[in-house]
Amino acid sequence: MIKLEGVYTVLPTPFDEHGNFDSESLRRVIDLFIEDGVSGFTALGVTSEIARLTDRERRVVLDATMEHTHGRVPVVVGATGDGLATCLVYCEEADKAGAAGVMVSPPRMAKVNSSYILRHFATIADKFDYAIVVQDFPPISGYHMEPSLLVDICREIPSARTIKLEDPPTPYKTARIRELESEADTDIDINIFGGLGGGYLLEELICGANGAMTGFAYPNLLVETVSKWNAGQHDEAADFFYRHLPLMRFEFQPGIGMAIRKEILKRRGALSHAGIRAPGAELDELTRASLDRVLKWLGL
C-alpha cells in the first residue's frame, strides 16, 4: 500500500459543446498535469462534477482515466455514496480498475454518529486492500468530524490513515490532529492533505500537512510550494505561494469556480471546450476580464 503525499490533482470531467464526455481532452489534461509534476490524481471527486454524471458515465470516465494514466502516477477514486451499499459498489469498481485507493466521505444521513462513521470506514477496509482517503467535507456529508474522530479512524483502521481536510479552518484542524497523533500510545503516521483549491496550502504545511489534494488548474504552483517547503526552504516557499495566491483565491469562487478552472485549462491547451453541466454557472465577460488581469499580473 503506497503512502499518499505531495500534490494529488482532482481531475475535471471535460465535456464537448454538446455536453458529452470528451475523452480526448481528459487525456490532454492528464498529460499536462503529469508534466506539472503531480504525485498522483484523484478521479471522480466533487470538482469532477461527479454529481452530474450518470453511473454509466462514471464508469466510462474511470476507465478512460486509468487507461491513459497507465500507471505513470497513482490514481485515487472518489467512492462516496448515499449509503454503504452504494459506496461499496463504487469501491469495487475502483478496485477492478486498479486504483491506488479511494476517497470517501461519511454517508449523508439524518442521524449519523461517530460510531457509525467508524464502522463505515472499517467495512470498506475489511473488503478492499488499498488506501482509503477520509474526506472531511461537511457540505457533502452533512457531518462535522472532530479531530479526535479522525484520529480514531486512523488509529483503528491502518489503511485509512490519509485525511483530506476541507472543513475550515484547515490549518487549525491540521494542528489539532497532529497534537492528538503525538499523544497516541502507538505510531499512527497520519497523512494529511489540504483541499479547498490550495488556498491554505502554506499554512497547512506549517501546521503539519503532507501536501494538497485539489483541482487547481496550475498544480505546478502547488508542487513548487511543497517541494520548497520539504527542502527546508520555508521562506522561499512562502514567497512563491503568496505571490500566486490571488489566482487560487479567484479560481475557488463558490458557484463559478469550476467554470473558471475549465476556462484556464482551455487556455492552457488541455480542454477543447470549457463548458460545465447545468446547473453550474457559465462565465460572463466581466469575470473573463478579471481572469485576464490576474493571469497577466502573474505572467501566466
Give the pLDDT confidence of 264-299 residue by residue, as tens digits. 999 999 999 998 988 888 899 999 999 999 999 999
Nearest to 11 by CA among 267, 221, 213, 269: 213
List Cβ neighbours of 139 (8 Å cut-off, separation of 6 or more).
none
Instruction: Supply the pLDDT for residue 210.
Output: 96
**Of 78 and 188, more confident:** 78
Distance CA(300)–CA(268), nearest Å, equals: 10
Averaged pLDDT of the chain: 94
Distance CA(36)–CA(143), nearest Å, equals: 34
Q: Is the pLDDT at 262 greater than 60, yes or no?
A: yes
Q: Is the pLDDT at 186 greater than 80, yes or no?
A: no
Distance CA(66)–CA(292), nearest Å, equals: 34
Instruction: Supply the pLDDT for residue 110.
Output: 54
Mean pLDDT of 95-100: 96
Q: Locate 228 and state its grid cell.
A: 520548497
Instruction: Supply the pLDDT for residue 288.
Output: 94
Length of the chain equals: 300
CB 283 within 8 A of CB 236: no
**Pairing state between β 162-165 and 191-194:** parallel
Mean pLDDT of 46-75: 95
Percent of all residues in the chain with a pLDDT value above 90, rounded to a whole number: 86
Q: How many CA atoms lie within 13 A of 6 on its CB side?
A: 20
Q: Is the pLDDT at 125 greater than 70, yes or no?
A: yes
pLDDT class of 83 with cuts at 50, 70, 90: confident
User: The domain 6-247: what is its CATH number?
Assistant: 3.20.20.70
Q: Give 194-208 pLDDT, tens digit per residue.
A: 999 999 999 999 999
**Of 186 and 23, more confident:** 23
What pTM was estimated for this model as a whole? 0.94
Angle between helix 170-183 and helix 147-156 axes, rounded to 10 deg: 50
Q: Is the dihedral of CA 124, 195, 291, 32 positive or negative?
A: negative
pLDDT class of 111 with cuts at 50, 70, 90: low
Q: Quickly tell me which residue has 463504487 as its cell.
A: 90
